[in-house]
Chain A
């Protein structure tokens, strides 16, 4: 598991049935494969192509990304609070590495 600066904002507590917003961002250049270096050579594509969010091991939200997603990709989405547990967030890089982070939420 590669080290990378990923940040997520998940409310620590939520009422059962409440819809909570989750904000995520990860530090990544998202090299589109269309830029050229000083010698005019194309810089090869290297982006995060997939994002997955699970709650207690169950997939609750996921996303496919293309080179049009900006550098340091930001994404916010919603989840209905049903049960307490741990969210796991995974970002999949073109080069095969997976960046992960977790967050806990208590549902009352």
Chain B
């Protein structure tokens, strides 16, 4: 009986929703102002270009228990040849007091546009990775992270 919902599934589902609600209530959520500030930061970094979605893969944990060190990796789909390569990758954390995290610059000698590093996150928020190609095209990826304990000091 593939479509029947049994008691166990109902309980599991309810538990999941309950946990999510508690997490949301405990943590100060990211505000619209945060997103606006991040938009401005990104716009400055990419000279007002309009990012398209695709090509960029941003890897983050779904839940970060410790906001002091959250490992992330960014990978951009590109041949990294002399004529077609990724120039820069900017990482922005929308909900941090200062949204800019880091910028990474590549050359055609990089072979692969991929980096792994660790960042601090103040609260549950959206992380954005923006890649600038050598022909000026800009691509973006977003990923949400739930942060249990913020890492911006106090």
Contacts and interface: CB of A to CB of B under 8 A. Distances in A.
Nearest to B103: A64
Q: Is the interface of A mostly helix, strand, loop or mixed?
A: strand
A86 B150 CA distance: 40
A26 to B, nearest CB: 12
B101 A61 contact: no
Contacts, number: 93
Interface residues of A, number: 30
Contact of A68 (B102, B109, B114): B102
B118 A74 contact: yes
A79 interface: yes
A59 B119 CA distance: 24
A105 B120 CA distance: 33
Nearest to B66: A70
B105 A63 contact: yes
Interface in A63-108: 63-71, 73-80, 82
B115 A69 contact: no
A48 B125 CA distance: 25
Nearest to B91: A68
Given A63-B105, A69-B117, A78 B111 contact: yes
B93 to A, nearest CB: 6
Contacts of B68: 70-71
* A-B pairs with lowest CB-CB distance, top 4: A35-B153, A80-B111, A19-B111, A78-B112
9 contacts: A36-B154, A61-B104, A61-B107, A62-B105, A65-B102, A68-B93, A70-B69, A80-B110, A82-B109
Interface of A: 19-20, 32, 34-36, 55, 58-71, 73-80, 82
